[in-house]
């Protein structure tokens, strides 16, 4: 059965989705707490995990799990119950000190490891009570896009953090379920250029992220784009041709990244007894040639393209292909780097949650599609993700265009 479009669904479907998302959050919390209990048992002092979950290291690419799941609850409560508009006061939280702990706009990232956070049982109660309150308020709202905006925002925000939790599992080598599969044989899709409206239209109904506003004319020239992301086999050919040691394939930023990182292969790859392997969460497995290459920086994607005589698609080309091309396989395996910086569309103005996109314009790279860890309801051809070009902890790969 197809997933209902939660951008436009009614209150009944929205309530079901919110409950489903919160069930996942609580399950993640319960799993994490069971890991910490096992790690601290005197009879079993050594956990099988590479990193003790009760002492998560302070890294700039993850959040402490207890903080992250409390933040999810806080975000829903803030926007669905407490926020009353810019001119009105803020209602108090159900949890004393919640703003001091969980407001990501004001709580510095590195400080989250040292906060006097509630324990996992109190965090679980906060997840439960904030959902109950949000669902109760949802029942009183009219079934209009304006009225349902913040509940939809809270749902999608929770989905994003579920995927981020999977990033944490990969970074720290914790167990998780993988979702990669073999790609079909590679081929190019030739597209005739034309003008199209890029972005979401104010005439459309439903929820829109502010960085999708608004639809504007974009001219696309003729181009040919791969029907699928790039595979492990294709990237391995670049690696085995000594591509990491040949500066001619790398941009100046790419060469700086290489010098700083000292990487000679993709993150989470290794050569073991003559076999290429990659780490997928807690396990090292043999590299599957037909699976999409994953955990690459934009610099590595660009270097492969130069070596192969190809290029990354622009963000506009990617969206055009997703909207108009048959057999364009996207959104189910890996996020995809584009060649475009993450910039505002003409006439952009931030929504009430102004920190969602605006602080990241001009410093991040546009990323499109979705990964195996992206909830289906998040996938949309106009959805814009964004990361710094050096990030390779996320579930990101790339596809390429023919160089004309």
pLDDT in tens, 219-232: 999 999 999 999 99
**How far is residue 211's CA from residue 237's CA, in Å, rounded to a whole number?**
37
Q: Check if the beta carbon of residue 320 is closer than 8 Å to that of residue 223.
A: no
Q: How far is CA 172 from CA 66, 77, 188, in A?
A: 15, 29, 37
Give the Cβ contact number of residue 290 at 10 Å.
Answer: 16
Position 54 scores a pLDDT of 74
Q: What mean pLDDT is predicted for residues 323-334?
A: 95
**How far is residue 163's CA from residue 264's CA, in Å, rounded to a whole number?**
27
Position 51 scores a pLDDT of 74
Is residue 217 within a helix (H) or strand (E), and if so which, with residue range?
A: strand 216-219
**How far is residue 180's CA from residue 283's CA, in Å, rounded to a whole number?**
14
Q: Check if the beta carbon of residue 47 is closer than 8 Å to that of residue 38.
A: yes
Is residue 14 within a helix (H) or strand (E), and if so which, with residue range?
A: helix 11-40
Q: Check if the beta carbon of residue 232 is closer than 8 Å to that of residue 291.
A: yes
Q: How far is CA 274 from CA 214, 270, 271, 294, in A?
A: 52, 10, 6, 21
Q: Which of 43-47, 158-162, 279-283, 361-365 is predicted with the least confidence, judged by mean pLDDT?
A: 43-47
Domain 188-402 matching CATH 3.40.1160.10: the answer reads: no
Q: What mean pLDDT is predicted for residues 168-189?
A: 94
Position 262 scores a pLDDT of 96
The 8-class DSSP code of residue 216 comes to: E
The 8-class DSSP code of residue 244 comes to: G
Confidence of residue 337 (pLDDT cuts 50, 70, 90): very high
* Cα torsion through 384, 387, 393, 395, rounded to 10: 20
Position 43 scores a pLDDT of 42
Across the chain, what does the average pLDDT equal? 94
* 90 φ/ψ angles, rounded to the nearest 5 degrees: -95, 125
pLDDT in tens, 232-271: 999 999 999 999 999 999 999 999 999 999 999 999 999 9
Is residue 300 within a helix (H) or strand (E), and if so which, with residue range?
A: helix 298-308
pLDDT in tens, 30-67: 998 887 776 655 444 444 567 777 789 999 999 999 99
The structure tokens 């931030």 sit at 350
pLDDT in tens, 117-150: 999 999 999 999 999 999 999 999 999 999 999 9
* 246 φ/ψ angles, rounded to the nearest 5 degrees: -115, 105
């Amino acid at each position: 059965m197809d997933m209902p479009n939660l951008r436009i669904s009614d209150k009944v479907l929205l309530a079901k989705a919110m409950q489903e998302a919160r069930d996942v959050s609580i399950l993640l919390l319960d799993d994490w707490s069971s890991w910490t209990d096992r790690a601290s048992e005197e009879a079993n002092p050594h956990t099988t995990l590479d990193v003790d979950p009760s002492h998560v290291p302070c890294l700039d690419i993850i959040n402490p799990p207890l903080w992250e799941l409390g933040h999810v609850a806080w975000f829903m409560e803030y926007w669905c119950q407490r926020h009353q508009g810019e001119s009105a006061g803020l209602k108090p939280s159900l949890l004393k000190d919640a703003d001091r702990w969980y407001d990501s706009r004001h709580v510095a990232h590195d400080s989250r490891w040292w906060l006097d956070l509630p324990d996992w049982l109190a965090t679980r109660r906060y997840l439960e009570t904030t959902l109950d309150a949000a669902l109760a308020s949802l029942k009183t709202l009219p079934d209009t896009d304006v009225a349902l905006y913040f509940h939809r925002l809270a749902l999608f925000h929770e989905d994003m953090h579920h995927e981020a939790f999977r990033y944490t599992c990969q970074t720290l080598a914790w167990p998780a379920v993988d979702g990669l599969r073999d790609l079909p044989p590679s081929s190019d899709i030739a597209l005739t250029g034309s003008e199209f409206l890029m972005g979401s239209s104010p005439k459309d109904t439903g929820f829109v992220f502010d960085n999708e506003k608004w639809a504007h004319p974009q001219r696309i020239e003729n181009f040919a784009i791969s029907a699928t992301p790039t595979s492990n086999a294709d990237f391995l050919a670049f690696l085995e041709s000594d591509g990491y040691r040949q500066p001619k394939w790398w941009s100046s930023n790419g060469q700086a990244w290489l010098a700083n990182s000292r990487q000679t292969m993709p993150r989470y790859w290794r050569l073991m007894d003559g076999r290429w392997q990659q780490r997928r969460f807690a396990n090292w497995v043999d590299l599957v040639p037909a699976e999409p290459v994953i955990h690459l920086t934009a610099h590595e994607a660009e270097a492969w393209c130069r070596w192969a005589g190809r290029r990354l698609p622009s963000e506009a080309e990617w969206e055009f292909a997703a909207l108009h091309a048959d057999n364009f396989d996207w959104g189910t395996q890996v996020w995809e780097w584009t060649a475009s910086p993450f910039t505002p569309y003409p006439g952009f103005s931030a929504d009430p949650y102004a920190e969602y996109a605006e602080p990241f314009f001009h410093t991040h790279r546009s990323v499109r599609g979705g990964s195996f860890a992206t909830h289906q309801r998040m996938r949309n051809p106009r959805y814009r993700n964004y990361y710094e070009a050096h990030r390779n902890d996320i579930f990101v790969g790339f596809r390429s265009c023919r160089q004309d």
